[in-house]
Amino acid sequence: MTVDRPVAVTGFGVVTPIGIGRTSFAEGLRSGACGVAPITLFDASAYRSQVAAEVSGDVIAAARESSLASGITVSRRYGRAAQFATAAVAEALHHAGLHAEDLGDSETGLALGGSTAGTLEAEAVMLEVDDGEGFWREVSNLQLLLAPVGSTADILAAGMGLGGPVTTISTACSSATNAIGQAMRWIRSGRCTRVIAGGADSLTRLTHAGFNSLSLVDRERPLPFDARRDGMVIGEGAAFFVLEDEARARARGAQLHGRVLGYGAIAEAHHLVQPRGDGDGAARAMGLALADAGVETDRVDYINAHGTATPHNDAAEGRGIVSVLGRRSQAVPVSSTKSQVGHLLGASGAVELAACVVAMNEGFLPPTAGWAERDPEIPLEDFVAGGARPAQVEHCLSNSFAFGGNDASLCLGRV
């Protein structure tokens, strides 16, 4: 039997290049901060681009209060991505008024989107040895165990003492959006009453080298939707949400910060790397999310775009938005949070959904930082240029499109 239950956001936590924690992140969004800077995590002098949006500051110290309140230990032991993930989960649980001891039942699940897990730590060994045999001599068992993408979820599940289903979805840049969509489906169907959902990724040499090799990386800063755009800048961080069956959340007196109303996911079946130029894949994902939410296009107040700042993506996404919203596309503000935090790859959808939750609850639109020059190839009007601006957002879309043609979109509603 299919059970359909409204899904509420009762807490969230973030670790981003423009701020660790909800308050800092919201301030960063509002001020138009940009987290892009020269890479410090590794020697990037031989790369085409030498910038990235790294998380700076002491994540463990920033998460101390949440960690104590939620019973989640945040440590460096399990690597950078896991550190981001545990800090964001600790904050999300604290925000939701939950403690790890509340999560041992079989109806509380975890859905994580990611792509790098412990790659940063394992590749460091690989790149510092003389040959492959050297790797096997130098690498630790812990580094090997942390390398598979599912390991971050293992650490979170153990830290929370979770009793329900745990999943890791890795669909490149739409991983977290798909994980949150899966979490929503678990709750709607009655499989879970509560799911911790989100994404975490750290910067790695592997991804930086890969996107550099494809000439998809800007050497200075990302300029989504701008005529001068020349590619993405890779970022890192995490965002996690506590999603709950709304009736159960209300019954325990939880504060609601939004509703995940709809989820659309499709395969473009077109090209492994490039989106369809007409934006058909993007349009189908957005259209399905709206249909799933039961929200008409004239009720969409804001779109947080995938907006990578690569020439192909932004033009295709713009056409896709026009295809879905029609003439209204010229009135709906569209911005890209990647202009501020970079492209967090597997975690990007989670951080961008967090930007939507902030927009709804704090009454402002996050900007497309740095936007200045219109591109005639992008048929949209309002990119929230010149800084954040006040707005009441009732319904919005958050888009994530990925290698493999994995497009996904979430529709969020204000409570």
Q: Give kind and range of the element (H or E) at residue 121.
A: helix 119-128
What does each C-alpha distance from 386 to 26, 36, 282, 334 come to in angstroms?
17, 18, 26, 13
Name the residue nearer to other proteins (CB basis): 252 or 271: 271
Q: How many CA atoms lie within 13 A of 335 on its CB side?
A: 31
Cβ pair 57, 29 in contact under 8 A? no
Annotated catalytic residue within 94, 95, 208, 343: 343
Annotated catalytic residue within 34, 95, 173, 208: 173
Name the residue nearer to other proteins (CB basis): 213 or 330: 213
The closest alpha carbon to 12, from 362, 269, 401, belongs to 362
Token pair 């529709």: residue: 411
Name the residue nearer to other proteins (CB basis): 89 or 146: 146
Name the residue nearer to other proteins (CB basis): 30 or 284: 284
Cβ pair 236, 249 in contact under 8 A? no
Catalytic annotation present for 343: yes
Report how far residue 380's alpha carbon sits from residue 337's, in angstroms, rounded to the nearest whole number. 17
Report how far residue 49's alpha carbon sits from residue 38's, in angstroms, rounded to the nearest whole number. 9
Shortest Cβ 166–other proteins spacing (Å): 5
Shortest Cβ 327–other proteins spacing (Å): 27
Shortest Cβ 359–other proteins spacing (Å): 26
Shortest Cβ 159–other proteins spacing (Å): 8
Name the residue nearer to other proteins (CB basis): 15 or 112: 112
230 contacts: CB under 8 Å, gap ≥ 6: 218, 219, 223, 309, 311
Write the DSSP symbol of residue 53. Answer: B
Catalytic annotation present for 411: no
Name the residue nearer to other proteins (CB basis): 57 or 161: 161
**Burial (CB count within 10 angstroms: exposed 0-12, middle 13-18, buried 19+), residue 390:** exposed
Residue 189: what residue type? S
Annotated catalytic residue within 95, 208, 257, 306: 306
Would you state the structure tokens that stand for residue 375, as one six-digit string? 């591109």
Report how far residue 127's alpha carbon sits from residue 114's, in angstroms, rounded to the nearest whole number. 22
Shortest Cβ 4–other proteins spacing (Å): 9
Report how far residue 372's alpha carbon sits from residue 238's, in angstroms, rounded to the nearest whole number. 29
Catalytic annotation present for 271: no
Shortest Cβ 290–other proteins spacing (Å): 15
- Name residue 277's beta-bridge partners: none
Catalytic residues: 173, 306, 343
